[in-house]
Amino acid sequence: MTQPDPHRRFQIALERARADWAAADPGLSAGLSGCVLSPQGIVLPFFRAWHLVTHPAGDVLFLGPDTPADMSAALAAAKPAHPSVAIALIHYLLTADGTPAADRWVTFRELPDGLFYAQAFAGHEEAVLAQRYGQDLAAFRAAAAALGGQPLDLADASFRFQALPRLELAVLLWEGDEEFQARARILFDAHAGHYLPTEDLSGLGDWLAHRVTRR
């Protein structure tokens, strides 16, 4: 059986998200998600990279790594966001309900319907981190700090990341030795399901794992 084209799957999901976004109230969404509503659309950071989501079209543009001081100049240099990022940002704006942070970390399997994706998540996203940095905590700390991670006092090394204005992730790493294999865990604030569907949270974990291991 022919496998679906990943690009086509992204496009179908993006079209659906845009249709839902066109019917949404951007002012309400901005307030509930902790974002800024501008004349051009909603401006928000995604792992410290600034984006614009227009309404009602749902175009998602990458504005750059710095807070846009001059929106006209930022728009002139803007580029379309990758479809996976565009889908996540629109879903964030559609899902956000203003629930305060729980200040309690949970594993992926503890998220709503997380058990459905948990095995794949551990076998891919978390395994990538353990394989890359399980014997090199110093390199992990440098890569995490370069992406804006803030140190936590958990595991052998750990950092928290501001993925979206009201959504944080954490990466924990245990160093491997002759007796134990290296382990990594990606955690989410317990309120994460109030801001993104679990499938999108899996995508955020995947994006973070690959950004950290690329450095």
pLDDT in tens, 36-53: 999 999 999 999 999 999
Residue 68 falls inside a structural domain: yes
Do 76 and 109 sit in the same domain of this protein? Answer: no
Q: Is residue 188 within 8 Å of 111, Cβ to Cβ?
A: yes
Determine, yes or no, domain membership for 100: no
Amino acid letter, 25: D
Query: What confidence tens digit (pLDDT) does each residue in 123-172 have?
Result: 788 999 999 999 999 999 999 999 999 999 999 999 999 999 999 999 99
pTM, 2 dp = 0.92
Asked, for residue 135, whether it belongs to a domain, the answer is: yes
Same domain? 90 vs 125: no
Instruction: Provide the domain limits for residue 43.
Output: 6-95
Residue 195 lies in a domain: yes
